[in-house]
Amino acid sequence: MENRGVEDMFDFRRVPKDAVLLLLLLIYSPVGICLMLIRIFLGVHVFLVSCALPESFVRRFIVRVMCSVLGMHVRQNNPRSRDRNTKLYICNHVTEFDHNVINLLTPCHTPQLEGSTGFVCWARGFMEIHSASGREAIGESLQRYCSTEGTPPLLLFPEEDTTNGRAGLLKFSSWPFSLTDSIQPVALRVTRPLIALSTPDSSWLMELLWTFFVPCTVYHVSWLPPVSRQDGESMQEFANKVQELLAGELGLVSTKITKADKAEHIKRKRHIVPQTSTSVRPGSIGLGFMVQSLGTDDHRIAKMAQQVKDVLPHVPLNVIAKDLAKTNCVDTTITNLLENKEESPMEATGTSTFGSSMNSSYSSGPAPTITPAAKSFGRSPVDRHLSLQERKEALYNFARRRYIEKHGLDEEDSH
């Protein structure tokens, strides 16, 4: 598994940066707007037809042809590899309509784990379940569904969020692989001219309008042979194996980036990019986009931030990255974060929150004893200052020793 940069995994702007493509998009825009209005009218009829016709091959064929008119073209490779006895399809996630596309080729159900319920859930083609009951209860319900004879297969996306489909796959969640011991991987490629397939802040309705706007969006579906879990293989190992298979089929890399990492990165960009933009002159319109193109520097900061995160696991990544942008040094950032934590108020027990959390985090191995709080409150400012410096030094030495142990460094190499 590789640690591909988060910036490479997602598109944070809809329109292209290339001047030629941007000019073509401007020329095409009047045509695209007219095409979008026509397709909205036709889309209502497609929805009504799909609701009126019963589930059958004829219905899927008619709806597939009508979706082609709407600009959603579906192609499949190796259709004979599809196993009719498999109860669970595992697919990578690229757009908000991946489940609709797979359903045009074969009957399957995708549970709605997050988002709207009721009519909107049903209209989008999801199977509604009671997600408020917790992930464990959902898993038990889906296990019963898979073991029931005569039910269509489930289609799940273990990435749990979309990517741009060009760089890598998000880390697969293990819980979908607990539903059944045999699954069938489905590799999905999506291509579209002129504009990006999706952006993180866009809703499914906005994505539908953009789909109607562009000339076409082509979905390539490839069916891989079924895969079974081996004896003694854990669910996460099974998930990693399927992730590697899909990544190899798509020509991508498997990453350890999760849905939570994506959300954290988006949150950080919302705070960093506007601050950078406000510091430039109003006439510098293009400078805001230059911040997003600094891929090499972002990747270096992210790598350094992960090193700091290994030592201080309870400090948020956005706080670490912000300090690294100033210091450009792992050791200095660790020192700064330790000092900031020391300056925060102590808990009633007399031990700092940070110190106690570090002890609990590394309780698995023999840890040196640290006493971040003084035994008594200093009578003079000098005594109190010395007490503070001692606590800082103790916490810094503790973090430094953990960093050396984790990365297998010698004491001399760390200086």
Whether residue 282 is predicted with pLDDT greater than 90 in this model: the reply is no
The answer to whether residues 212 and 40 touch, using CB atoms and an 8 Å cutoff, is: yes
For the chain, the distance separating the N- and C-terminal CA atoms, rounded to the nearest angstrom, is: 31
When pLDDT is cut at 50, 70 and 90, the band that residue 315 belongs to is: confident
- What's the CA gap between 255 and 247, in Å, rounded? 10
By CB atoms closer than 10 A (0-12, 13-18, 19+), residue 324 is buried
Give residue 274's pLDDT: 46
Query: How, if at all, do strands 111-112 and 127-128 pair?
Result: parallel
What is the H or E stretch that residue 42 is in?
Answer: helix 19-52
Structure tokens at 50: 């799909």
Residue 209's H or E segment, with its range, is helix 204-213
What confidence score (pLDDT) does residue 265 get? 83
Mean pLDDT over 325-333 rounds to 82
Which one has a higher pLDDT value, 250 or 281? 250
Mean pLDDT of the chain: 79
Q: CA 307 to CA 407: how far, in whole Å?
A: 9
DSSP-assigned beta bridge partners for residue 249: none
- Average pLDDT for residues 20-46, to the nearest whole number? 94
- Grouping H, G, I as helix, E, B as strand and the rest as coil, residue 351 is coil
Cα atoms found within 13 Å of the Cα of residue 15, Cβ hemisphere only: 13
Asked if residue 200 lies in contact with residue 58, where contact means CB atoms within 8 angstroms, the answer is: no
Question: What is the band of 339 on the pLDDT scale with cuts at 50, 70, 90?
Answer: confident
Integer-rounded Cα radius of gyration of the chain: 26
Instruction: Tokens 């002159």: give the residue.
Output: 281
Burial of 326 (0-12, 13-18, 19+ CB in 10 A): exposed
Contact in structure between 64 and 74 (CB atoms under 8 Å): yes
pLDDT at residue 216 in the model: 94
Q: Is the pTM of this model over 0.95?
A: no
Question: What string of H, E and C letters represents the secondary structure of 232-281?
Answer: CCCHHHHHHHHHHHHHHHHCCEEECCCHHHHHHHHHHHHHHHHHHHHCCC
> Which of 105, 129, 305, 289 has the alpha carbon at shortest distance from 186?
105
pLDDT at 133: 62
Q: Of residues 135 and 166, which shows the higher confidence score? A: 166
Which residues in 94-181 belong to E strands, given as ranges? Answer: 111-112, 127-128, 154-156, 168-169
**Per-residue pLDDT, 215:** 94
Q: What is the pLDDT of residue 380?
A: 56
Q: Tell me the C-alpha to C-alpha distance, in Å, between residue 187 and each of 195, 248, 249, 415.
A: 22, 10, 7, 48
Q: Is the pLDDT of residue 294 over 80?
A: no
pLDDT band at 288 (very low <50, low <70, confident <90, very high): very low
Residue 354 is encoded by which pair of tokens? 């940070």
Would you say 396 and 312 are in contact if contact means Cβ atoms under 8 Å apart? Answer: no
Predicted local confidence at residue 36, as pLDDT: 95
Q: What is the pLDDT of residue 381?
A: 54
Is the separation of the CB atoms in 5 and 298 below 8 Å? yes
User: What letter does residue 350 receive in the DSSP assignment?
Assistant: S
Tens digits of per-residue pLDDT, 142-160? 888 888 888 899 999 999 9
User: Is the pLDDT reported for residue 363 higher than 90?
Assistant: no
Please say if the pLDDT value at position 104 is more than 80. yes
For the segment 228-235, the average pLDDT, to the nearest whole number, is 90
